[in-house]
Structures are given as structure tokens and as C-alpha cells.
């Protein structure tokens, strides 16, 4: 039968490889797939698929725990690696048969290289890491996967889980923030790397004033190199959340106006500058009403409402 991870075609399968011709399975009555009495579309299952899953359903029904059942999960996964039930049953057999989890981790690593966007294989690896209480291989492993596919969501998600669960932010010479800098340097448009950078800071040192200023400088460096890149503008909005006021960041404001003066026609630049001024106007009205000119508080509150209504009317007209 097919070895684990063998995704080769199973259209021309020799009879000797099927369970129903294998004496080892003579005591098991296979359970056929039940698609109902009336099917809108009949699925053309291959002979190997029907054979493996007919016997797998029988094994599941009897809750068999054996080496042959474990081997059967390998065959089922090779045919249909996205089948959650097969993976779940395999995990049960791993424990009850006391299998070597390190061997399984190596196996699933090889399988992920072949099926890097399959959720089930990543979840299986996560469970193994949990059982082993050891994530020493995970950063290097996800780095390898991300070299081939820098925006692989599952790899980033697994990496984040490992960083959080095992506190690997700064581990054995590794610095995750520096890692994001390297990934951004490789591809400034890698939104996943920008997202990871925000995740790292938000879960470690936090966005205090010093960090915020450093991140503004870091982001602006890349904006100046690729001003039409949406990823860096989105990151800048994220780090400025709640503090997006021009008077708080004069260099940022002047940087935007400089890009405009150079003839840059970027929707990201103009939208950012618009929000910068909008929040500044809103804050100015509050400061005038509450601190600087409280005698005319009602007037400034009125001006604030007027601005809000003006924007609302503009939105409704569009």
C-alpha cells in the first residue's frame, strides 16, 4: 500500500496492494461509503480510496488499536491528507501504541514540506510539540517553510503559537523582532512579516513612547523606499492606533507633505494624511473646548459636531 505522504496517483493500483486482498484484513468486514439513496453528483472514488476508507470506517467502528490500524491511517492520509478524522484517530493510536513521537515529528515535518498549506498537518505538528513539551526545532522549521513561501499563514500561525507557548521571543541567540526586520528587508511587501512584527511587540515590550518612535522611524524608512506599498502604511496606522495626530508627530506630517511635494500620487499617502488631519481637528476642538478656550466651549463642541456631520454627509453622498 502507499507509504505515508505518498501522494502519487492511485488510479492503477495492483490488487495485491488492496486491503480486501490482504489476508491480514480477512477478519474485517469493510463498511462502504454511504452517499444516500439519491446523489446529485456521484463521486468517482478511485479503487484505492474506496478500499482504504471502507476498511478505515470498519476500524473506527470497532475502535481497533493495532499496528495494522496505525498503518491504515498512513495509507488514508497519503490518499486524503485533509481528512480530520483520520488524523484524530492516528493521534489516539500514537498514544495507545506508545509510538516514538520524535519519529512522528520528523515524519510530519517531511509531510509539511510537501503539503505546506494543509491545516491538518500543521495542527498535528502542534499537538506533537505539546505532547513532547519541546519546541526547540520549531523556529528553524518554520523559517525553512517560510523561505519557500514567505506568506504561508499556517507557518506564521504555528510560529506565533510556539513563541507564546514556550517564550521563544529571545531564545538561544534568536531575536524574533530582528527576524521580522530581516523578512521585511527581503520583501517590504510581505504583509505577513509586518503583521508578525506588530504581534511580537504587542506581546512583549508593548508600544510605549520610545518603541512607538522607533517603529515610526523604522516604518518610514521603508515607506520612503516603496511609498505605494500598502503593507507599511497599514503597519503605521496600527502602531499609531489612538495616537494618530499630526501635532504629536511633526516629522511624520512633514514627511507626508514632502512626498506630496515630490509629485507622489499615492492613495495610501493621501488617505493617511487625511486621517492624520481629521484626528488632529477632532482633538483640537476638544482641547479648545476643555482647556484653552472653555468660555466658548459650546461653540467648539458645535464645530466638532459640524465636522462630524460634514464627513457623514460626504460619506452618504458617495
* Torsions phi, psi for 210 (to 5 deg): -65, -45
Half-sphere exposure of 316 (CA within 13 A, CB side): 6
> Going by C-beta distance under 8 Å and a sequence separation of 6 or more, which residues neighbour residue 52?
1, 19, 72, 75, 76, 79
Burial class (CB in 10 A: 0-12, 13-18, 19+), 315: exposed
Please identify which of the residues 61, 95, 117, 185 carries the catalytic annotation.
117
End-to-end C-alpha distance for the chain, whole angstroms: 62
Q: Can you give the three-state secondary structure of 150-172, one letter per residue?
A: CCCHHHHHHHHHHHHHHCCCEEC
> Going by C-beta distance under 8 Å and a sequence separation of 6 or more, which residues neighbour residue 189?
226, 229, 231
Task: List residues bridging with 171 in a β-sheet.
Answer: 174
14 annotated active-site: no
Half-sphere exposure of 152 (CA within 13 A, CB side): 22
Q: What 3-state class would DSSP assign to 266?
A: coil
Distance CA(207)–CA(180), nearest Å, equals 16
Of 139, 138, 136, residue with least CA distance to 126: 138
- Residues that are catalytic: 117
Amino acid at each position: 500500500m502507499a507509504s505515508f505522504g505518498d501522494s502519487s496517483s492511485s488510479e492503477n493500483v495492483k490488487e495485491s496492494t488492496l486491503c480486501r486482498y490482504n489476508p491480514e484484513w480477512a477478519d474485517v468486514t469493510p463498511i462502504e461509503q454511504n452517499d444516500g439513496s439519491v446523489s446529485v453528483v456521484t463521486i468517482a472514488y478511485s479503487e484505492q480510496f474506496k478500499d482504504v476508507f471502507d476498511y478505515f470506517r470498519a476500524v473506527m467502528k470497532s475502535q481497533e488499536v493495532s499496528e495494522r490500524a496505525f498503518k491504515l491511517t498512513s495509507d488514508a492520509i497519503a490518499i486524503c491528507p485533509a481528512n480530520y478524522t483520520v488524523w484524530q484517530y492516528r493521534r489516539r493510536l500514537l498514544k495507545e501504541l506508545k509510538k516514538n513521537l520524535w519519529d512522528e515529528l520528523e515524519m510530519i515535518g517531511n509531510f509539511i514540506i510537501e503539503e505546506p498549506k494543509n491545516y491538518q498537518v500543521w495542527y498535528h505538528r502542534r499537538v506533537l510539540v505539546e505532547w513532547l513539551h519541546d519546541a526547540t526545532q520549531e523556529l528553524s522549521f518554520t523559517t525553512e517553510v517560510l523561505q519557500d513561501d514567505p506568506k504561508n499563514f499556517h507557518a506564521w500561525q504555528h510560529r506565533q503559537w510556539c513563541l507564546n507557548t514556550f517564550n521563544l521571543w529571545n531564545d538561544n541567540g534568536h531575536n524574533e523582532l530582528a527576524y521580522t526586520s530581516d523578512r521585511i528587508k527581503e520583501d517590504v511587501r510581505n504583509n505577513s512579516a509586518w503583521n508578525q512584527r506588530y504581534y511580537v511587540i504587542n506581546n512583549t515590550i508593548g508600544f510605549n513612547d520610545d518603541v512607538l518612535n522607533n517603529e515610526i522611524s523604522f516604518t518610514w524608512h521603508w515607506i520612503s523606499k516603496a511609498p505605494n506599498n500598502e503593507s507599511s502604511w497599514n503597519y503605521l496606522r496600527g502602531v499609531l492606533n489612538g495616537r494618530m495626530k499630526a501635532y504629536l508627530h511633526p516629522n511624520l506630517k512633514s514627511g507626508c507633505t514632502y512626498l506630496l511635494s515630490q509629485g507622489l500620487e499615492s492613495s495610501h499617502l493621501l488617505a493617511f494624511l487625511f486621517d492624520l488631519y481629521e484626528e488632529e481637528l477632532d482633538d483640537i476642538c476638544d482641547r479648545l473646548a476643555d482647556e484653552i478656550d472653555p468660555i466658548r466651549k459650546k461653540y467648539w463642541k458645535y464645530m466638532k459636531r459640524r465636522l462630524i456631520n460634514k464627513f457623514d454627509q460626504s460619506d452618504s453622498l458617495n
